[in-house]
């Protein structure tokens, strides 16, 4: 039976609900008569994506102006086409790659999950059948999420500058000896970490590498940045949550030949002795269209089983 998208009463996290929330900026819900434009992107490396993209196109034809469609990860053509929404068919990694390609020209992203957990790609194909009109028209569904910018400085020259959706990780790498990293916040020396590296992540990225390393889970709309040491050679270094406006400098005091800066698990850059990685909030926010069929914590509870008691057999 096809789902219907309509306001419902607040229920438990294990059920579908519509939970209206106030976005960072208030938007008027567009009139149904105002036809929105949409650009469709799909991961070219997933075999099931072309069929899902064709289904999405058929659904969108009667509800929006389709200004382009492609099997690609580059969102630039959608910006050039003036799209009101950018639908991304793939997994979380696909959406992250598309968001990074947009840079400062972020568009509201509708993520259709063809991957595994789907924390960022909140819609299934069936969800889109039920809620495409609302996803296109209701601007109150657009969540603003912090992005980071990571710049690697070598000998006073910026060697690379990358937008991060989830995290920036400095990882020890081969030959896997302990590294020593100097940490400064807002230009003031803060601490020195000896261990396997450090994770600097957004609230959106708190459920990724950060969670595996023992860092805190944060609600996506929180204005903060998380610093999580990786296997520190100290009992006193613990994950830290700092304000979103902070500028974090990670100085490579002692590193390995394979020590690497990794952005979102997708983009990497070698880190040499004396290099500095400067991480700060990016000027633009990620714009993510929320699935109105689910409560905000639905996937954390149902897919990652957060807070559930052990099963006794």
SS3 of 178-217: the string is: CEEEEEEECCEEEEEEEECEEEEECCHHHHCHHHHCCCCC
What mean pLDDT is predicted for residues 84-106? 97
Please answer whether residues 52 and 23 qualify as being in contact, where contact means their C-beta atoms are separated by less than 8 angstroms: no
Which CATH number applies to 148-281: 2.40.160.40, 3.40.1180.10, 1.20.1260.10, 2.60.200.30? 2.60.200.30
- Number of CB atoms found within 10 A of residue 14's CB: 10
pLDDT in tens, 136-151: 999 999 999 999 999 9
Please answer whether residues 68 and 77 qualify as being in contact, where contact means their C-beta atoms are separated by less than 8 angstroms: yes
Spot the catalytic one: 74, 84, 92, 283: 92
Tokens of 31: 């009139």
Please answer whether residues 174 and 258 qualify as being in contact, where contact means their C-beta atoms are separated by less than 8 angstroms: yes
- What distance in Å separates the CA atoms of residue 242 and residue 264, rounded to the nearest whole number? 20
What mean pLDDT is predicted for residues 214-240? 95
The DSSP bridge partners found for residue 104 are none
Which is more confidently placed, 61 or 303?
A: 61
Q: What is the longest distance spanned by two Cα atoms in the chain?
A: 62
pLDDT in tens, 186-220: 999 999 999 999 999 999 999 999 999 999 999 98
- What are the boundaries of each domain within the chain? 36-145+292-302, 148-281
CATH homologous superfamily for the domain 36-145+292-302: Probable inorganic polyphosphate/atp-NAD kinase; domain 1 (3.40.50.10330)
Close Cβ partners of 90 (under 8 Å, ≥ 6 residues apart): 42, 43, 46, 49, 112, 113, 114, 115, 121
What SS3 state is found at 95?
helix
Tokens of 249: 């400098």
pTM of the full structure: 0.87
Is 92 assigned a catalytic role? yes
């Amino acid at each position: 039976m096809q789902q219907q998208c309509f306001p419902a009463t607040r229920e438990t996290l294990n059920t579908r609900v519509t939970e209206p929330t106030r976005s960072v900026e208030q938007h008027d819900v567009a009139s149904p008569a105002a036809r929105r434009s949409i650009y469709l992107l799909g991961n070219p490396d997933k075999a099931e994506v072309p069929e899902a993209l064709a289904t999405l196109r058929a659904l969108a034809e009667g509800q929006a102006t389709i200004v382009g469609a492609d099997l690609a990860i580059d969102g630039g053509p959608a910006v050039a086409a003036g799209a009101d929404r950018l639908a991304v068919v793939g997994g979380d990694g696909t959406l992250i790659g598309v968001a990074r390609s947009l840079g400062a020209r972020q568009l509201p992203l509708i993520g259709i999950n063809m991957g595994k957990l789907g924390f960022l790609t909140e819609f299934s194909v069936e969800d889109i059948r039920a809620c495409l009109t609302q996803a296109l028209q209701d601007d109150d569904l657009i969540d603003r999420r912090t992005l980071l910018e990571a710049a690697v400085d070598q000998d006073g020259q910026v060697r690379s500058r990358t937008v991060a959706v989830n995290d920036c990780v400095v990882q020890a790498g081969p030959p896997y000896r302990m590294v020593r990293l100097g940490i400064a916040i807002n230009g003031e020396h803060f601490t020195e970490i000896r261990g396997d590296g450090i994770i600097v992540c957004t609230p959106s990225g708190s459920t990724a590498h950060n969670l595996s390393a023992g860092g805190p889970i944060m609600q996506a709309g929180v204005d903060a940045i998380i610093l999580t040491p990786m296997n520190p050679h100290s009992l006193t270094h613990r994950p830290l949550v700092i304000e979103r406006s902070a500028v974090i400098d990670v100085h490579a005091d002692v590193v390995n030949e394979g020590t690497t800066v990794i952005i979102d698990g997708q983009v990497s850059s070698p880190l040499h002795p004396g290099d500095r990685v400067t991480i700060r909030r990016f000027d633009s926010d990620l714009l993510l269209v929320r699935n109105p069929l689910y409560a905000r914590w639905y996937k954390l509870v149902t897919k990652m089983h957060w807070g559930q008691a052990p099963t006794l057999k």
